Amino acid sequence: MAGEAPQYVAARVQRALAEDERTHELGIRVDVRGDQIFLRGQVGDEYRRETIAGVAGEAAPELELHNEISVVEVRDPGEEENL
Amino acid sequence: MKVRIAAVGDIHMGEDLRGRFRPRFAGIEERADVLLLAGDLTRHGTEEEGRVVADEFRDLPIPVVAVLGNHDYHSDAEEIISVLLRNAGMIVLDDQATVIECHGETLGIVGGKGFGGGFAGKCASEFGEPETKAFVRHTKDIAERWRVALKETPADHRVVLAHYSPVKDTLEGEPKEIYPFLGSYLLAEAVDAEGADLIVHGHAHLGCEKGLTPGGIRVRNVALPVLGRAYGVYSLKEDLNV
């Protein structure tokens, strides 16, 4: 039997990130290429970034994980827009 | 004077983010007349996170009007969260309207979570299994409540505050396959029927800020990752008839 298709692995990780009570993250993009897994998106702080990587690693322990998630910047409000 | 609306959504607060936003709201009264929070104020939807949100926005010098988002419903604590926010002085809308006075003009705000279903021609219908019908009916019911709330809220200016998107424009950047879970055209149709000056929403973190309804009402996606700033400020045209 062939190994698990990468699409199913990515779907499993994405579902884990959404449903695991440690994360509940719906906005993370998960891509599997060969034996590597890539996480992309934005979260509120470094702690959440690391927690997501931990949950993803548990869901796909056989893959090399690349955590490309960034921490969202909260800049000053800037100019108003006239509608 | 122009009415200035500050808005942000998807701040996803938890104990780890306590105090993160408050400094960014210093001086907001110089920039805006009202602050709208477009849902997903928490991450897991717990009472504890609701307390963090309440503390973060307690006693701001301008009115704060909020709706909840899907994350705020996850732990079945949405009613407790709403009470905590109201006790902190915020107005929480659940398919209702509120009217605020700004510079002698009235600003009507109709707000609610909204829901999904998709966009015209590529959307779910009230057909088939009861689960599908219930999903679509939930959005239809919300849209109808918004239409009625707008009709019954005459004001110099009217703004709709939502979590889910009423249009596709502001979803640009999200995978098209998940559009039906990000919003519904039924929401825009209801607002277009009664008229408004602006619709703000969140939910779509990968979307873009600016869009329009088919009827020409401006739509702004104010999800924090989209804005990249503490809040957006939108000023409405003066009502010259006042």
CB within 8 Å: A27 and B197: no
| B31 part of a folded domain | yes
Average pLDDT of chain B, as a whole number: 95
B241 within domain boundaries: no
Residues of A in contact with B231 (CB under 8 A): 77
**B74 interaction partners in chain A (CB closer than 8 Å):** 24
Q: How many domains does chain B have?
A: 1
B229 CA to chain A: closest CA distance, Å?
4
Residue A11 touches partner B, C-beta closer than 8 Å: no
Positive or negative torsion for Cα B210, B214, B218, B222:
negative
| Domain hosting residue A34, numbered range | 6-71
Per residue in A1-16, pLDDT (tens digit) is 467 899 999 999 999 9
Is the per-residue pLDDT at B241 higher than 70?
Answer: no
> What DSSP string describes A24-41?
-----EEEEETTEEEEE-
Q: Which residue of A has its CA nearest to B174?
A: A27
Contact list in B for residue A48 (CB cut-off 8 A) is: 16
Q: What is the pLDDT of residues B79-124, one digit of tens each?
A: 999 999 999 999 999 999 999 999 899 999 999 999 999 998 889 8
Q: Quick one: pLDDT band at residue B240, thresholds 50, 70, 90?
A: low
As a whole-number percent, the residues of chain B with pLDDT over 70 amount to 98
Q: Number of folded domains in chain A?
A: 1
Q: Burial-class residue B10 by CB neighbours within 10 Å (0-12, 13-18, 19+).
A: buried
DSSP state of B12: -
Radius of gyration of chain A (CA): 16
Query: Would B141 be classed as within a structural domain?
Result: yes
The Cα B58–Cα B61 span in angstroms is 9
B242 within domain boundaries = no
- CATH code at A49? 3.30.1340.30
Asked if the structure places residue B52 within a domain, the reply is yes
With CB atoms and an 8 Å threshold, state whether B229 touches A41. Answer: no
Residue B198 lies in a domain: yes
B113 domain residue, yes or no? yes
Domain that holds residue B72: 3-236
CATH of the domain at B180: 3.60.21.10
Tell me whether residue A20 is in a domain: yes
Which regions of chain A are under pLDDT 50? 1
